[in-house]
Structure 1
Amino acid sequence: MSETSFLGHAFRYFGLFFICLITLGSYYIYDIPAALQTGIESLYKIHNVEWNLLYSVYSFPNMIIVFFGGYFIDNVFGLKKGAIIFCCLVMAGQIIFSVSSNLKLFWLALVGRTIFGLGGESLSVAQSTFCATWFKGRGDINFAFAITLAFSRIGSAINFQISPRIEDNQVSKVPTAIWVGAIVCGVSFASCIILVVLDVIRGKKDKDDPSPQTASSFMDIIRSFKDIFKFPGTLWLINLSVVLFYVPLFVFVSICSDFFQSKYGISSTLATSIASVPYYSAVSSPIIGFIVDRTGHNIAFTTFSSALLVVAHGLFAFSDISVWAGAIFLGASYAFMAASIWVTIPCLVPSKSLGSAYGLAFACQNAAVASFGLIINAVIAHYNTNVISDSSSSCADSGSDINHHSNHTTGNSTSSHYESSSSCVSGPKFASPNAYHIAELIFFGLSCLCLLVQITIILVDTKNRWVNVPSAMMKQRVKDLNPDDEKDPLIN
């Protein structure tokens, strides 16, 4: 490798480091309510239903807003301004949440989480667009995407390690733990500023247009919006496969801690550890991404991932073998999917529409996960034959600390670090096995549909030859979509 080539690679991976950091704060703070569930309930004097609102006010707006976030990146703000704006929303939302913890005002906490939601998912869209732009048409784009996805999950894992230790079973320390999240968001904001500066340098070296065209009037926005309906059918099939994959993953992990305890009779601590397996498995995604970069045929990898998902839910639904077997298959399926699916989008739409394309994918994913989360919980409640005691509420009113299990869309269920009072809990803490079995049948069915969609994409692509081809053909496809791009190296 020549010195010039080495400097070009080094510069891009230096930028990739900051691309990873811009979402570290948002992933860290997203799971703060789960890591501090009992402490937050005691601090604000709320119960489980109100606590769940801290996630609901984030998720439901993102059914729509995250798509427009990607659209605004393409046609209104531009990538750099958009990233800064979304990063500011994330940090501002967490600061408001932190202030609410000092004032013990729950309504203010909801305001903060809502503002965070306005920027959180859109910032992830900006991150994907940055990554696709920096590594467009290169042989290591799968590797780069896999690194960003793995790094994001590290943010959630760090939160679950740090926040409970800061709190240390003391309600008075809950605000401190929440303020640490604001500091992490500050690190992400500083990283975003540095990334914007680096992107200006990259744009000059790559001969990018220094003043990308953005919509200047309402009619410009309407005309640009119509371009979305021109996206190829393969992109819509990929979005459908994303929905059918991530619902049996994210929604399942949100309930699986109690499911594991109910079906396999294991402890809450072990169930929580097993529930986190799919997310820790994301660490292996860069290795898989490196392999995909060398071979191409991304849809073959995503199809294999969907098959692993079918096996995982088949084991959970129809067998009684070790719970670890299904968890390992589930983790492997996520690692393969994360390393191969997202990089197909730059092969289907030009660079000027990447933000809209990623925003559309994230919007579909958020809408499906939020909706099916409600559906699955309603199914479990309907078929549950266990009578769950309401005595925990009275115990909470009398000042006793009750053990809770958090269920949310990130899947990082965590049992409380407070000591529970067994005299206050008189009924089962989770639903009956039959209720979970019905839910698991739904997950299994969705997994099978996902596999069928992936096979359909392969069949469709036998004619188009866009996304399930060798890596060299995929790189050429990106160049064909962006004929005005310069082919000069990054640093001359």
Structure 2
Amino acid sequence: MSAPQVPLGPPDEKKTSVPVVSVPSEEESISAENEPVQKAIPWTYKWIALACVVAFPIGQNWTNASLGPLKNTLRQELGITNAQFGVIASADSFVNSIFPILGGMILDWWGPNPVTICCTVVIFLGSVVAAASIHISAWRMLVAGHVIMGFGIAILDQAQQKFIYHWFGAGGLAFAFGLENAISGVVGLVAGMVAIPIRESTGWYGWTFWVPAFFCCASMLINIAYVFFEHIFIPKHYRLTSARAKAVAKSHGLNVKRTFSWDSLLKLPWQYLMLPGTQILQSGGANGFGVSAADMIRMKGYKEDTAGFMTTGQKVIRIVGAPIIGWLIDRYGHRFHLVALAPLFYVLANSLIGFTSAHPLVALVMQSIAGLINGMPLNVSIPLLVADQDKLGTAFGVWRAFNNSGATIMEVVYGVVQDGTEAMGYGRVLIISSSIKAVGFFIGITYIIVDFKKLGKGITMTRSQREARESEIEDRDADPLTRRRPVKAWTIYVMCALVAMVATGWTLFIKYLS
């Protein structure tokens, strides 16, 4: 059950009669969003909403999970290099190096319902283009399809975060994220395991791309059904209210002409910006093993279908473990401790698969555990560090922009390095990946220190400890646990780092697309 939220600052009592209303000020939006909830949202509404929300990206998850097992097939059928496969694999990340930020601000201002419908429609169209490209063996058209899908994926993921945060609150956030990750894991597991069997049973690998197109269509219909469900069956006071709707309400129904405000981007607190500003290439470092795992196992002498089965089979750990880890985080806290621990598992997995004769499943298990305990603690920490629903979409947009830029850069770099390695081996790729994750370990240790020194141990606390501590705070703007302030110098650094990463990612992508 979601705990009642406590106002982050004193309400702004000013009223305006200006016909055109701008985005609410930081104090107004925070206060409006965090008014005490008189009645808890019924669990029936929560579970129905979650069931719909987790179904939105099923088709896109299926497509991504199929690429790894089909890497060797695509190289042979389309006549592409490893670097060009990296372009295909990073196509949706490429477009999402900029778009999530703009999309996040639009999402915060207009609300997720109309935006998610646009997203699922775009994803469906992209999946059709990707599947059609197989008929004419045009790998650049396949890239185009993934780029189109990327426009929808960018905001859809952020909308999911806002939906989950709204319905479950900070209390059950980790568990809800864990359940969502488990569903995504099931889809990825099935998609990866059947990719090669579909090719073998039908005699054509193109069906592996048409199946997710059908699922994308289903996701679009479920999204439309959810919007109707919310508007018809859910009482108005339980719905997620957009910043625009709040501004209209404040102005007594007057029209609001501004689409969004740059304040939601430039006034993000330093406590949150610490994450994207230090993670940089960490998301790309994790992909050194993940995307090409099936091909690595094949090069160890295993059959292609066996390699694909093992690669996807290890996802069972994430499926089972994601809700458990989410529950443990809610109950015991220590989010940044898990962030520091995850890179060690990544390094161990890379070492086992690349430089030992250990069975590949051992490395796959280590890699799966690393992914399980790395991504979720960061995702559930973001709402706590932002502490403002009206900025949450923008915050997740910046987070995705960093992650996608890093993934784009490293996917292409890995392909180039592999093409330049004798027998196209993965030794150098794994060394680069391990080096990046080794840095990630020290970054995680730094987070723990900052949490103890500057954040009032809020990320280490359990849910009950945090709620008890917040109930004792009289001045929320003075206490490190609840104080959320932007720091101009840190904001400038983070935005400059993002521009540099986007420029690098786009340069590499366009260079190897030609």
TM-score bracket, normalised by the shorter chain, equals: 0.7 to 0.9
For 1:128, the equivalent position in structure 2 comes to 161
Alignment of 1:241-260 (within 5 A): 243-260=280-297
Given that 2:125 and 2:148 are in contact with CA atoms closer than 8 Å, whether structure 1 keeps it comes out as yes
Given that 2:90 and 2:407 are in contact with CA atoms closer than 8 Å, whether structure 1 keeps it comes out as no
Gaps of 5+ in 2: 2-38, 249-254, 483-514
Answering whether residue 266 of structure 2 is matched by residue 229 of structure 1, we say: yes
Does 139-148 or 155-164 show the bigger shift?
A: 155-164
For 1:287, the equivalent position in structure 2 comes to 324
| Among candidates 84, 103, 120, match of residue 87 of structure 1 | 120
For 2:192, the equivalent position in structure 1 comes to 160
Given that 2:166 and 2:240 are in contact with CA atoms closer than 8 Å, whether structure 1 keeps it comes out as no
Alignment of 1:450-461 (within 5 A): 450-461=440-451
| Among candidates 362, 366, 372, match of residue 404 of structure 2 | 366
- Secondary structure of the 2:460 match is coil
For 1:352, the equivalent position in structure 2 comes to 390
| Among candidates 433, 455, 476, match of residue 464 of structure 1 | 455
Change (3 A) 1:275 1:163: closer
- Secondary structure of the 1:21 match is coil
| Among candidates 418, 430, 439, match of residue 449 of structure 1 | 439
For 1:69, the equivalent position in structure 2 comes to 103
Deviation at 1:38, TM superposition (A): 7.6
Tell me, in whole angstroms, the C-alpha distance in 1 between the residues paired with 2:418 and 2:143. Answer: 27
Deviation at 1:131, TM superposition (A): 1.2
For 1:412, the equivalent position in structure 2 comes to none
Deviation at 1:303, TM superposition (A): 2.4
| Among candidates 98, 111, 132, match of residue 78 of structure 1 | 111
Given that 2:163 and 2:240 are in contact with CA atoms closer than 8 Å, whether structure 1 keeps it comes out as no
Answering whether residue 267 of structure 2 is matched by residue 275 of structure 1, we say: no
Change (3 A) 1:216 1:143: same
Alignment of 1:131-210 (within 5 A): 131-137=164-170, 139-162=171-194, 164-168=196-200, 170=202, 177-200=208-231, 202=234, 204-206=236-238, 209=241
Answering whether residue 169 of structure 2 is matched by residue 116 of structure 1, we say: no
Given that 1:129 and 1:358 are in contact with CA atoms closer than 8 Å, whether structure 2 keeps it comes out as no
For 1:487, the equivalent position in structure 2 comes to none
- Secondary structure of the 1:231 match is coil
Deviation at 1:313, TM superposition (A): 3.6
Tell me, in whole angstroms, the C-alpha distance in 2 between the residues paired with 1:319 and 1:38. Answer: 23
Answering whether residue 35 of structure 2 is matched by residue 13 of structure 1, we say: no
Change (3 A) 1:370 1:99: closer
- Secondary structure of the 1:363 match is helix
Change (3 A) 1:135 1:369: same
For 1:426, the equivalent position in structure 2 comes to none
- Secondary structure of the 1:357 match is helix
Given that 2:281 and 2:407 are in contact with CA atoms closer than 8 Å, whether structure 1 keeps it comes out as no
Deviation at 1:339, TM superposition (A): 3.6
Change (3 A) 1:476 1:21: farther
Length, aligned pairs only: 423
Deviation at 1:196, TM superposition (A): 2.4
Given that 1:36 and 1:164 are in contact with CA atoms closer than 8 Å, whether structure 2 keeps it comes out as yes
Given that 1:58 and 1:113 are in contact with CA atoms closer than 8 Å, whether structure 2 keeps it comes out as yes
- Secondary structure of the 2:78 match is coil
Q: Which whole-Å deviations, capped at 9, do the CAs of 1:99-155 have from their partners, x for residues lacking one?
A: 555677766555433321211232122112211221113x32111001112212322
Change (3 A) 1:312 1:35: closer
Given that 2:52 and 2:226 are in contact with CA atoms closer than 8 Å, whether structure 1 keeps it comes out as yes
Tell me, in whole angstroms, the C-alpha distance in 2 between the residues paired with 1:177 and 1:132. Answer: 34
Aligned amino acid, residue 196 of structure 1 = V
| Among candidates 230, 238, 246, match of residue 275 of structure 2 | 238
Alignment of 1:17-36 (within 5 A): 17-32=51-66
Tell me, in whole angstroms, the C-alpha distance in 1 between the residues paired with 2:71 and 2:413. Answer: 23
Change (3 A) 1:372 1:278: farther
Given that 1:78 and 1:212 are in contact with CA atoms closer than 8 Å, whether structure 2 keeps it comes out as no
Tell me, in whole angstroms, the C-alpha distance in 2 between the residues paired with 1:140 and 1:278. Answer: 27
Change (3 A) 1:179 1:376: closer
Change (3 A) 1:100 1:438: closer
Deviation at 1:324, TM superposition (A): 3.5
Output the aligned Cα RMSD: 3.6
Tell me, in whole angstroms, the C-alpha distance in 2 between the residues paired with 1:34 and 1:353. Answer: 35
Answering whether residue 87 of structure 2 is matched by residue 96 of structure 1, we say: no
- Secondary structure of the 2:291 match is helix
Gaps of 5+ in 1: 387-429, 484-492
Alignment of 1:399-438 (within 5 A): 430-431=424-425, 436-438=426-428
- Secondary structure of the 1:467 match is coil
- Secondary structure of the 1:344 match is helix
Deviation at 1:80, TM superposition (A): 1.1
- Using structure 2 for the length normalisation, give the TM-score: 0.71
Tell me, in whole angstroms, the C-alpha distance in 2 between the residues paired with 1:132 and 1:313. Answer: 34
Tell me, in whole angstroms, the C-alpha distance in 1 between the residues paired with 2:132 and 2:362. Answer: 44
- Secondary structure of the 2:422 match is coil
Q: Which whole-Å deviations, capped at 9, do the CAs of 1:367-387 have from their partners, x for residues lacking one?
A: 1111012222223333x233x
Q: Which whole-Å deviations, capped at 9, do the CAs of 1:75-96 have from their partners, x for residues lacking one?
A: 3x32111111111101122233
Tell me, in whole angstroms, the C-alpha distance in 2 between the residues paired with 1:238 and 1:6. Answer: 31
- Using structure 1 for the length normalisation, give the TM-score: 0.74
Tell me, in whole angstroms, the C-alpha distance in 2 between the residues paired with 1:106 and 1:312. Answer: 31
Q: Which whole-Å deviations, capped at 9, do the CAs of 1:185-217 have from their partners, x for residues lacking one?
A: 121112212322344455724375472449955
Given that 1:297 and 1:471 are in contact with CA atoms closer than 8 Å, whether structure 2 keeps it comes out as no
Change (3 A) 1:155 1:331: same
